[in-house]
Structure 1
């Protein structure tokens, strides 16, 4: 099996590899290699949800979404979730529960997104989003969040997946 890195950006790379599929067919496949990410559903004491209104340059528009971020080298998913929650919202979690994981782009990317629900939130003095992030913090009720998904105002897959998993697991 031959592997070639076509492009590298931060910890994400575009890799082309020659491989043999389970049906013995030889192909060249291109994959975005991604270190993984944490997605956090922050729930306030009153049951409201903290979301981000974040400008996404790839789409050239604003998205309403849950806080999330890429894992650093050697970082475990829960540590990433704690770090990203603070960096993007200015809140820290007293309790953080794992909801499992999702594979958002399996056709061309190896990213695994680890889902969490954060409770017992308290303000942190460590708020500091990345230089390439433009973020506004938004709070809404669970009913408002559901309606925004129904209306198509929230289209972010990780947000919909994390909310669904938290609901199915009985956390909200």
Structure 2
């Protein structure tokens, strides 16, 4: 039997920081031993949103964007950080408009994802965006160069299986949608689903 006796000792120590990130060190006591662990947090926010936008002809909208850390273009779902004082649904709508030029009539909560919880403080809240239409308020973020693509669910699953989509959050949300949603009417089987 595993007894959960692991706990943090004292306050976390700030090791260094940059414009975007801070590296922290925690001291953990586990079965009588002291161990030090480092982890990363984003500066200014710890949560983000990501959306699975569905068009009227049942296509999933993704964006192709350059990802600096792995130095290549990736197919990802639209999303972005939650600013201080902002709420989930407002951020989701704002990011959808900024990154795709579409807005959703309805947002349905799918799930929350912890990103590398042993090493990184960050949670992404996933939404299904349905009845989307072109927005009159479209103003793309000038910092990003993106290309919008539309894929059927079948094609998106093929891209995942073949390695064409490799972003972990994008894969998780598309597979979550495929597993827990009824494809014809987008009614979710998840009992905690919220409609915004």
Does the TM-score normalized on the shorter chain lie above 0.5?
yes
Question: CA offset at residue 93 of structure 1?
Answer: 0.6
- CA spacing shift, 1:27–1:145, aligned 2, 3 Å: same
Whole-angstrom CA distance in 2 between matches of 1:161 and 1:57:
21
The corresponding residue for 1:16 is: 24
The corresponding residue for 2:66 is: 55
Give structure 1 regions of 4+ aligned residues with deviation exceeding 6 angstroms.
none
Q: Which runs of 5+ in 1 are unaligned?
A: none
| Aligned partner (choices 137, 153, 167) of residue 126 of structure 1 | 137
- Are residues 1:3 and 2:13 paired? yes
- CA spacing shift, 1:153–1:18, aligned 2, 3 Å: closer
Question: CA offset at residue 23 of structure 1?
Answer: 3.6
Which fold has the larger relative contact order, with Cα–Cα distance below 8 Å and residues 6 or more apart in sequence? 1
Whole-angstrom CA distance in 2 between matches of 1:112 and 1:55:
22
Whole-angstrom CA distance in 2 between matches of 1:23 and 1:43:
49
Question: CA offset at residue 171 of structure 1?
Answer: 4.6
Question: CA offset at residue 160 of structure 1?
Answer: 0.7
Q: Which runs of 5+ in 2 are unaligned?
A: 1-10, 184-196
Question: CA offset at residue 99 of structure 1?
Answer: 0.7
- CA spacing shift, 1:60–1:31, aligned 2, 3 Å: same
8 A Cα contact 2:101 2:140, kept in partner: no
Q: Secondary structure, in 3 states, of the residue corresponding to 1:168?
A: helix
Whole-angstrom CA distance in 1 between matches of 2:137 and 2:27:
45
Question: CA offset at residue 26 of structure 1?
Answer: 2.8
- CA spacing shift, 1:134–1:21, aligned 2, 3 Å: farther
The corresponding residue for 2:79 is: 68
The corresponding residue for 1:28 is: 36
After the TM superposition, which of the residue ranges 97-106 and 27-36 deviates more from structure 2? 27-36
- Are residues 1:139 and 2:150 paired? yes
Whole-angstrom CA distance in 1 between matches of 2:84 and 2:108:
22
8 A Cα contact 2:22 2:41, kept in partner: yes
8 A Cα contact 1:40 1:81, kept in partner: yes
Give the greater-gyration-radius structure (CA): 2
- Which aligned pairs between 1:71-150 and structure 2 lie closer than 5 A? 71-150=82-161
* TM-score (normalised: structure 2): 0.79
